[in-house]
């Protein structure tokens, strides 16, 4: 198993009151999985992803990445996981305006101070997400869907075993959103496990496994079943 979460709870406090944003979530992701989680705004999706990516500590429960429990790892181990085998595409595209598409794709490599030229790898990834001809362009000339493709290529640069994406289609029109889902589908078929959340219920069908999130809990959506 690549990722394994057990009985994760997250309690938030607001205005002197506390509430459970996550109420005992267990979830695992292995090779070949394309997991879709759908749920309304405020249902706890981002909270869950932040905990699974090790950016937020759960109130109780555990998360293991490749057999290593987050609670037992120090900051350096955690950042090594996040800059390598675990890719996280946060909400929004995060593409920087003063860098070209290719430079944006190379950014994690440069920021991490890694040696070696990975331009060829970056170009191959831009090819894979369908925007190689735009490599030398600046983000201002790109559409929303193209910007999202840049953020996906960038997240793939470290060859993650698991790619987590928070609402990767939220600001796109229906047709472009479907194109992006197909990009994710091809990534999953190439062997990267995927875990994405969306408030768009229609996209549950793309996953090899899908869940509905409500009241801080996950309910598996069975193909063809009622949910
Ligand atoms: N840091 C926080 N402190 C208190 N409440 C929070 C915090 N972050 C999120 N929440 C609340 O927790 C719930 C789940 O939020 P979130 O995980 O962002 O949901 P989603 O991503 O599904 O929209 C919401 O009610 C939100 O307002
Ligand atoms: Mg969210």
Sketch the domain layout of the chain as residue ranges: 3-217
Distance CA 213, CA 43 (A): 6
Ligand 1: which residue has its CA nearest to atom 24? 42
Distance CA 178, CA 203 (A): 8
Which phi and psi angles does 174 have, rounded to 5°? -55, -45
Bridge partners, 89 (sequence order) = 165
Ligand 1 centre to CA of 122 (Å) is 34
**Nearest atom (ligand 1) to Cα of 39:** 22
Distance CA 207, CA 53 (A): 20
Task: Please indicate whether residue 215, judged by its CB atom, sits closer than 6 Å to ligand 1.
Answer: no
Alpha-carbon separation of residue 92 from 89, 186, 191 (angstroms) = 8, 21, 25
Ligand 1: which residue has its CA nearest to atom 1? 12
pTM of the model: 0.93
Ligand 2 centre to CA of 84 (Å) is 23
Ligand 2 centre to CA of 189 (Å) is 26
pLDDT at 200: 85
Specify the CATH number of the domain 3-217.
3.40.50.300
Task: Please indicate whether residue 45, judged by its CB atom, sits closer than 6 Å to ligand 1.
Answer: yes
HSE-up of 117 (CA within 13 Å, CB side)?
3
pLDDT in tens, the chain (227 residues): 999 999 999 999 999 999 999 999 999 999 989 999 999 999 999 999 999 999 999 999 999 999 999 999 999 999 999 989 999 999 887 899 999 999 999 998 888 888 899 999 999 999 999 999 999 999 999 999 999 999 999 999 999 999 999 999 988 899 999 989 999 999 999 889 999 999 888 888 888 999 999 999 999 998 765 55
Distance CA 174, CA 180 (A): 10
**Which ligand has an atom closest to residue 37 CA?**
1
Task: Please indicate whether residue 46, judged by its CB atom, sits closer than 6 Å to ligand 1.
Answer: yes
Got the DSSP string for 29-94?
A: E-TT-EEEEE--TTSSHHHHHHHHTTSS--SEEEEEETTEEGGG--HHHHHHHHTTTEEEE-SS--
pLDDT at 112: 82
pLDDT at 194: 97
């Amino acid at each position: 198993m690549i990722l394994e979460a057990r009985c994760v709870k997250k309690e938030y406090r607001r205005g002197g009151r506390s509430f459970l944003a996550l109420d005992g979530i267990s979830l695992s992701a292995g090779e070949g999985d394309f997991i879709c989680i759908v749920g309304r705004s405020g249902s706890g999706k981002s909270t869950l992803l932040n905990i699974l990516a090790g950016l937020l500590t759960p109130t109780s429960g555990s998360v293991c990445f490749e057999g290593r429990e987050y609670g037992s790892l120090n900051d350096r181990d955690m950042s090594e996981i996040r800059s390598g085998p675990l890719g996280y595409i946060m909400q929004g595209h995060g593409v920087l305006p003063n860098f070209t598409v290719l430079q944006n794709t190379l950014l994690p490599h440069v920021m991490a101070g890694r040696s070696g030229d990975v331009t060829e790898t970056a170009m191959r990834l831009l090819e894979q997400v369908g925007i190689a001809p735009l490599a030398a362009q600046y983000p201002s000339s790109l559409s929303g869907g193209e910007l999202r493709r840049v953020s996906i290529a960038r997240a793939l640069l470290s060859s993650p075993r698991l790619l987590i994406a928070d609402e990767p289609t939220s600001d796109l029109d229906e047709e472009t959103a479907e194109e992006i889902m197909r990009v994710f589908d091809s990534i999953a078929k190439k062997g990267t496990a995927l875990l994405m959340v969306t408030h768009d219920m229609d996209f549950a069908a793309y996953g090899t496994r899908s869940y509905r999130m409500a009241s801080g809990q996950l309910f598996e959506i069975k193909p063809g079943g009622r949910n």
